[in-house]
Each structure stands twice: as structure tokens, then as C-alpha cells.
Amino acid sequence: MIKYYSSLTQVIILGFVCFCCPGMYNALNGMGAGGQVDDTTGTNANVALYTTFAVFGLLGGGVNNILGPRFTIFLGGLTFALYSGSFLYYNHTHSPAFTIAAGAILGIGAGLLWAAQGAIMMAYPTENRKGTYIGLFWVIFNLGGVLGGLIPFGLNYHSTVGNVNDGTYIGFMVIQIIGAFLGLALAPPERVIKDDGTNVVVQPTPNVLREFLEVLKLFGNKWMLILTPAFFTTNFFYTYQFNVINGTLFNVRTRGLNSVLYWAAQMVGAFAFGYFMDSKRFGRRKRGILGLTVVFVGFTAVWLGGLFLQLQFTRSTTADHTINPHNTIDFKMSSIYTGPLFLYIFYGMLDAMFQTYCYWLMGTLTNDSTQLSRYAGYYKGVQSAGGAVAWRIDAVGTSFLAQFIVNWALLTASIPLMAPVVYKIAETSGCNEEGYEPRPLPKDDSVYASDEKA
């Protein structure tokens, strides 16, 4: 029997919160242009979103340490519903101001939600189950993107042109509001019990000034600085994948189907990779080295395939409706649909593996949930700064090939730079950065048989 205060239960609840809130956002954003034919408003909204996200992602860890995860996630979750509602408004008015403002507000809320999420996901599991828990969370979370993609696919099945309909946006809003309130069901961190029967390590609640200073110290933390290029890159490619590939090449119903398959691939990639990162066959450092190698080789292979697709079209040819009227590729056109589809699936799978690896790597640095909350905030802040730059690059009309080259170059350069942190990995982490070492983990499987303790 799974107990409410067990770390597993709490991660599952968190997964369903993100299933409802960012999961639905991912489904909406994954269609390209927020489901609109003209991508200008959606792109500018994402620039505003990721700009504020970069700031409040950094501050989100501190806010979470002060307010606690329940209220931090609840407040953040409500902003996702506001953003979906802004596209419903745009469908009727074609006025972009509210949608762009809602994007900026969502950046604030997303920064809060994801900082709290990262702290829970990295601090609640025992050291030998962090990869598994991260993978489990990613499966539940991306199930939201899968089911969310089915909404526009089903509601727009008989439409091959135009924007998605009102029912799509209303459906997203309702689910996201439910998800925000579900965040209130999370238990206080100090009451959560890990799989080995110990409590989650939580430092005393700091005052606002002390917490702000602790966040600032991250800019002098050598491990965070080394990881900064990789963090910057982790969402950078979303603009290219969502707007250039899915939003440009496919009609509206096929974009919904592609979104389903993209997030489904993320579920598979995250769970399998997370399970591998907890493998007992190798020591933790060796798993770190192997994981980094798999991510690097995988990205190289997939983006090489992407180059062949990108060389077949440009921004000018897709804008010419005599050549490509209303984003014409439909899922029934198997001869031209299959190749781009599988490429898009592998893009999604590699994204999940990359982010799972980043969370796992941060989780090897400490077991202190307070510090991990700051790490998660730093990660999301830097990641969102990259997203803001990427969306702005697209907004100013940068050629598709140039966007592709920038993405591939960033991935190729940033992933190997993570190696010094991988080399630093020890078999067990201190509960804080002052050198406290927890008791050794048991070598048998008794660590998993903890339901009676919880």
C-alpha cells in the first residue's frame, strides 16, 4: 500500500500537477504558434514568457524555500490557465497585447512551479533511485502533452486549414485550473519519508534576505557555472522544433498528432534513460560518463538527420502559399510524412534524455532539498534565458538553416563541457555542501521495501 507521506506518492502527485499545467502548455506550444496559422503573436508571447521565466526561475528556488512547495506550485499553476485563455481571446479579437502579457505572467508562474518541482524531484528519492523517480515524473508529466495533443487532433480532425477552435483552448484551461488546485495536495517536505525510512533533509526556513543572498551565491558556484552552457541549451531547440518543423511543415490536425507522438517519445526516453542511470551494474560515476556519452552521440546522430530535412525547405518557400498553401503536409500523405515524423519523434526522445540527465547530475551534488531548490531555480532560469534568445531569433525572421546551425552548434559545444562535473561524482552525496555525509545505502534491495515504514 502506498502511503500519502511517502516520497513516491508525492512525486506521483507532482507528476499529475505538471500533467495538467505545463503538460497542457507543452501540447499547445508543441503545435507551433499556439495553434494559430500566423506565428507572430505566439512567438512574441514566448519571448515575453521566457524573459520573465529567466528572472523568476532564478528567484523561484528562494520563493519555494520560503512559501513551501504547495503554495508555490498552486500560484504558478494558475498562470498556465491564464495563458491558454489568452489564445481563446485572441481567436475572437486578433489583438496580441493580452496574449503577450499573459506570456510574461506565465513566465513568472512557471519559474515558481518548476523551481519547486525540481527540488521535489531531486530531493525526495534515495540516491540509488533518483534516475527512476525522475523518469517516472517525466512519464506522468509528458502524458499531459500526449493527451493534450489529442485534444486539438480530435477537435480539429475535419479541419486541415486555419487556427484551432475555441473548444481546444477551453479544454486546456479547465485541465490547468484543476492541476493548480491539485498542487495544494502536496505534503510539507519535512513530513515526507524516503524509501529507506529517513526523512527528507530540509534546512530551517531562511528569511528573505538570507535566501536572496544564497541564490546570488549560485553565480559563484563552480559546478553551476560549468553546467550553465548545457542549461542554456536544454530548451533552446524548442523554438526550432515547434515553430520551424511542426508549425511550418504540417497542417493543423497533423500538428496535433505530431505533438502527441513527440511527448510520447519523451515518456519512453525519460523512463528508459532514468532507469539506466540507476543501474546497479555500474558505479555512479561510470553511469554519469556513459549517460553523457549516450546523450552526446544521440544528439549528433539525430541532428545530422535533421540537416537533410532542413536543406529541403526555407523560410521563403514555406511562406509562398503557391508552393505550400496553409502548411500542407497531412498525416495521410505517408510518402512525405514518414521521414519528418520519425525525426520529430527522435527530437522529443533526446530532449527528455538530456533533461533527465541534467536533473540526475544536479541530484548527485547534494541531498539537501533546500539547496536543490536553488539549483532547480538556477537551472530553469538559465534554461529560460536560452529559450528567450531562441524565440527572439525566430521572431526577427532568422533563416531556418541559420537557426538549425545555431542549435546544433550549441548542443555540440555544451554537452562535453559537463564532463568536469561528471568526473566529480562520488558514490554518495553529502546532505549539504559543508561536508556532512549520510549513512551508506544498503547493498541489498531492502531499501525498496519501505511501505511499512512509510
Query: How many angstroms separate the CA atoms of 53 and 40, rounded?
Result: 20
Query: How many angstroms separate the CA atoms of 317 and 179, rounded?
Result: 41
Q: Which residue has the higher pLDDT, 36 or 104?
A: 104
Q: Calculate the alpha carbon distances from 432 to 1, 189, 202, 418 in Å.
A: 32, 16, 10, 21
Q: What are the phi and psi torsion angles at 403 (to 5°)?
A: -60, -40
- Whether 40 has a pLDDT exceeding 80, the answer reads no
What does the angle CA 377 – CA 107 – CA 76 come to, to the nearest 5 degrees? Answer: 75
Query: How many angstroms separate the CA atoms of 113 and 81, rounded?
Result: 13
Amino acid in position 29 = N
pLDDT confidence band for 443 (50 / 70 / 90): very low
* Residue 435 φ/ψ region, left for φ over 0, alpha for ψ in the -120 to 50 degree band, beta for the rest: left
pLDDT confidence band for 148 (50 / 70 / 90): confident
Q: Calculate the alpha carbon distances from 351 to 57, 169, 234, 368 in Å.
A: 19, 26, 7, 27
pLDDT value for 213: 87
- Whether 237 has a pLDDT exceeding 60, the answer reads yes
List pLDDT tens digits, range 160-207: 555 566 777 888 899 999 999 999 999 988 889 988 888 887 776 667
pLDDT value for 436: 35
pLDDT value for 89: 86
Distance of CA 352 to the CA centre of its chain: 8
Average pLDDT for residues 300-328, to the nearest whole number? 74
pLDDT value for 94: 80
- Helices and strands (H and E) in the chain: how many: 18, 0
pLDDT value for 324: 46
Is the CB of residue 68 less than 8 Å from the CB of residue 206?
no
Tell me the sheet residues that pair with 6. 193
pLDDT value for 386: 93
Judge if pTM exceeds 0.85: no
Domain ranges of the chain: 7-433
pLDDT value for 36: 52
pLDDT value for 29: 73
Average pLDDT for residues 443-452, to the nearest whole number? 37
Q: What are the phi and psi torsion angles at 199 (to 5°)?
A: -85, 155
| SS3 per residue for 212-243 | HHHHHHHHHCHHHHHHHHHHHHCCCCHHHHHH
Q: In terms of Cα–Cα distance, which of 199, 192, 206 is closest to 438? A: 199
Select 7-433's CATH number: 1.10.150.530, 2.40.110.10, 2.30.140.10, 1.20.1250.20: 1.20.1250.20
Q: Which residue has the cell 544521440?
A: 298
Name the grid cell of 228: 550553465
Average pLDDT for residues 134-138, to the nearest whole number? 91
Query: How many angstroms separate the CA atoms of 59 and 40, rounded?
Result: 29
pLDDT confidence band for 9 (50 / 70 / 90): very high
pLDDT value for 446: 38
Is the CB of residue 162 less than 8 Å from the CB of residue 37?
yes
Is the CB of residue 291 less than 8 Å from the CB of residue 277?
yes
Q: Calculate the alpha carbon distances from 27 to 149, 152, 216, 395 in Å.
A: 5, 9, 34, 21
Q: Calculate the alpha carbon distances from 288 to 22, 197, 380 in Å.
A: 28, 26, 21
Distance of CA 432 to the CA centre of its chain: 26
pLDDT confidence band for 2 (50 / 70 / 90): low
Mean pLDDT of the chain: 84
Average pLDDT for residues 238-243, to the nearest whole number? 90
Q: By percentage, how much of the chain surpasses pLDDT 90?
A: 43
Q: Looking at 135-149, 353-367, 373-387, which range is the least confident one?
A: 135-149
Average pLDDT for residues 47-56, to the nearest whole number? 89
* Residue 116 φ/ψ region, left for φ over 0, alpha for ψ in the -120 to 50 degree band, beta for the rest: alpha
pLDDT confidence band for 39 (50 / 70 / 90): low
- Whether 41 has a pLDDT exceeding 80, the answer reads no
Strands (E), 1-76: none
pLDDT value for 251: 81
pLDDT value for 233: 95
Query: How many angstroms separate the CA atoms of 190 and 258, rounded?
Result: 41
Q: What are the phi and psi torsion angles at 370 (to 5°)?
A: -65, -45
pLDDT value for 259: 85
- Whether 52 has a pLDDT exceeding 80, the answer reads yes
List pLDDT tens digits, range 113-131: 998 998 898 889 888 888 9
Average pLDDT for residues 256-270, to the nearest whole number? 90
List pLDDT tens digits, range 329-374: 888 888 889 999 999 999 999 999 999 999 999 999 988 888 888 8
Q: In terms of Cα–Cα distance, which of 91, 59, 58, 86 is closest to 378? A: 58
Name the grid cell of 171: 479544454
List pLDDT tens digits, range 288-303: 999 999 999 999 999 9
Q: Which residues contact 29 (CB under 8 A, 6 or more apart)?
A: 42, 46, 238, 242
pLDDT value for 205: 63
